[in-house]
Structure 1
């Protein structure tokens, strides 16, 4: 049993490697392969029986007619008049082009073709019907069959007839008709199959767009009943998720409003106390609480229902760098932009800028030199944020994407120290169908790689 399972697994892996990946192409193979195999077998059987039966009947008839001519010569007085009478009978009654050649021998044998059905049949029949040496050429000029029979030493009956009379013809026409009918049937099947595949592709595209936060209002279930049922289930799921997001957003908006109200009162009370040295730490704590609250709310809300628009990547990166530098006037880090592709992508603009801000702020906070570059390859946009900071050990690079995780060098923290910087960035990248990876950078520090589909 394990041996059989191993063979089955190997066969399945072989099919997965060599079969097309698309559903339409695989369905075509499932449809076409049996039809082609069946047509090939049936064509072979039909052609074989056609050739065998028709050629057998035609060859037997031709052999009997030649045998009759040979018998007539043997029974005659072999005078020129008798020979002329035999030639006339062959031409007029049997429609055979016959000549009597004297003083020659039979030509050397011709090597028959591989599938020499006619030659084999004629040798059998002529041996039986004439009892004399003979020579057969099924590929004589002008599409004729030539038969020479040595009726006596030095006397040859040379007989020519049309190939259609001696062996089966029209095979090419029969084969062409079979291929044409098969092509028509396959074409009709492909049209209907494509109509069945399109609803599945529409459903897959709607699910992908919904996962990327794009508009799916134009999707309507269609196709077979099973596909419509799956499409209806998708619409129900979309409505439930939309209702959940709407309720969560409303709840978070209320919580945010209440907490901000309390913090605003704290700020007013501290402002009443004046510019007292003892008040400064309290003001800093309130400001930090304000930033932490905004970060928590941003992490829980996600994209907040933001719609997808066309975003110029180069302009978004440039604007984000300017905002980070403006928010950090005391930073001595030098940020350099290199080769940002001037392309536009369907993105949530504010979420994308927040992703960039978190990565760039982290690099500026722990490095003195930051370089941002990008390229388009493998149908994806690759953005690189490099710094010359302390970096993160390879074994901890996946852990830093978990919310509220803080390492010793705090490379996953944003400006408020909440431990949500990279977690928010990764959520935004995933919402756009992308990903973020961390690796060793060319500047000696950390490299953050953002991959987004183009």
Structure 2
């Protein structure tokens, strides 16, 4: 049982580590991914094309380019091996004219140098398929010291082979040992893909624009601004979304208008009642209680005016410099009139820019809640 528990514990630990690694990789992938729609669409379009081009180029290099170059190089080296066999088997005259004629028929320029005229091995090119393939074939078919130069001459390949009494120098056409037209295929493939990709990016940009305009219009409407030039454009699905947004915008505006009209009607009714209160207070006469009620009625009238201004779409009360000492003293007197004991202690600048009525209502609510 203990062994089973230990095994389960190890499995849980390993599963937790795998889950944590997956979470970390997912977060890292999300952090590397672009956030914009246009960038993500470009990524979705470009990455598969790059992967496809890479796979095609790799398969072409491996299956076609390498194979053709290997066979061409093997044929050239086979011709050189045949010349060496002829040189060793049949006696030659002093200038070896017969061997040179055979080389010309094989499209090879054959020459003979002194025994010591063999250059030391030089550095290999960083990427030269022809150099690698020729070296392999010379070592396999001739098995003699050799030296090759595939870089010095543009159209020719120089090969030197150490013989018993001389050094055979052969010049061969590069096209006879190397599939030179394969690079043209790669360039055409990359060039065509780049042009098609640019055209696709331009078309994609035109398809993304209506979605971006819809997002901007929704953001502007959410901030209370209008988007006068917005209209449904683009694909059918984008047009449906834009039309749904316009219908939703129209419904919200109608709802706001109805609530605003209701608020305006209620405010007008309350203002009528407050006007009646003012007339009745004027008929009662002067007393401290009546003065307090008048102040309350005036304050309620100001609040209703703010509501009406809001209903009309006006900006409402404006911020203005306010004497804080006087405002706090009014709050203290209102609190004492309501039967609450209050004291005022003010420190700082005497004049502060605030919305007087709103600020007074805020402090009055705090005082009433504290009482």
* TM-score interval, smaller chain: 0.7 to 0.9
Shift of 1:56: 1.7
Paired with 1:120 and 1:176, the residues of 2 have a C-alpha distance of 23
Residues 390-438 of structure 1, C-alpha deviations (whole Å, 9 max, x = no match): xxxxxxxxxxxxxxxxxxxxxx9622458789xxxxxxxxxxxxxxxxx
Shift of 1:43: 0.9
* Residues 279 and 208 of structure 1, relative CA distance in 2, 3 Å threshold: same
Picking from 349, 354, 360, the partner of 1:415 is 360
DSSP-derived class of the 1:148 partner: strand
* Residues 231 and 59 of structure 1, relative CA distance in 2, 3 Å threshold: same
The root-mean-square deviation of aligned C-alpha atoms, in Å, is 3.6
Paired with 1:184 and 1:63, the residues of 2 have a C-alpha distance of 41
1:189 correspondence with 2:134: no
Paired with 2:57 and 2:350, the residues of 1 have a C-alpha distance of 72
Picking from 44, 67, 73, the partner of 1:30 is 44
Residue ranges of structure 2 left out of the alignment (5+ in a row) = 1-14, 329-344, 367-371
Paired with 2:286 and 2:258, the residues of 1 have a C-alpha distance of 42
8 A Cα contact 2:325 2:350, kept in partner? no
Paired with 1:68 and 1:182, the residues of 2 have a C-alpha distance of 45
DSSP-derived class of the 1:11 partner: helix
1:107 correspondence with 2:52: no
DSSP-derived class of the 2:360 partner: coil
DSSP-derived class of the 2:163 partner: strand
Q: How does 1:89-168 map to 2 (within 5 A)?
A: 89-91=102-104, 93-104=105-116, 106-113=118-125, 117-127=129-139, 129-130=141-142, 132-153=144-165, 155-168=166-179
1:73 correspondence with 2:87: yes
Shift of 1:280: 2.0
Residues 155-174 of structure 1, C-alpha deviations (whole Å, 9 max, x = no match): 12111123222222245433
Shift of 1:249: 1.1
Paired with 2:64 and 2:129, the residues of 1 have a C-alpha distance of 12
**Number of equivalent positions:** 334
Picking from 177, 184, 200, the partner of 1:173 is 184
Larger radius of gyration: 2
* Residues 252 and 130 of structure 1, relative CA distance in 2, 3 Å threshold: closer
8 A Cα contact 1:414 1:420, kept in partner? no
Residues 4-35 of structure 1, C-alpha deviations (whole Å, 9 max, x = no match): 55444323321232222211112211221221
Picking from 264, 271, 274, the partner of 1:263 is 274
What is aligned with 2:217?
206
Paired with 2:350 and 2:203, the residues of 1 have a C-alpha distance of 57
What is aligned with 1:245?
256
Q: How does 1:304-315 map to 2 (within 5 A)?
A: 305=313
8 A Cα contact 1:332 1:368, kept in partner? no
* Residues 284 and 171 of structure 1, relative CA distance in 2, 3 Å threshold: same
Structure with the larger helix share: 2
1:369 correspondence with 2:314: no
Residues 289-333 of structure 1, C-alpha deviations (whole Å, 9 max, x = no match): 2234445x37xx8675459xxxxxxxxxxx956x444xx597499
* Residues 130 and 11 of structure 1, relative CA distance in 2, 3 Å threshold: closer
1:279 correspondence with 2:224: no
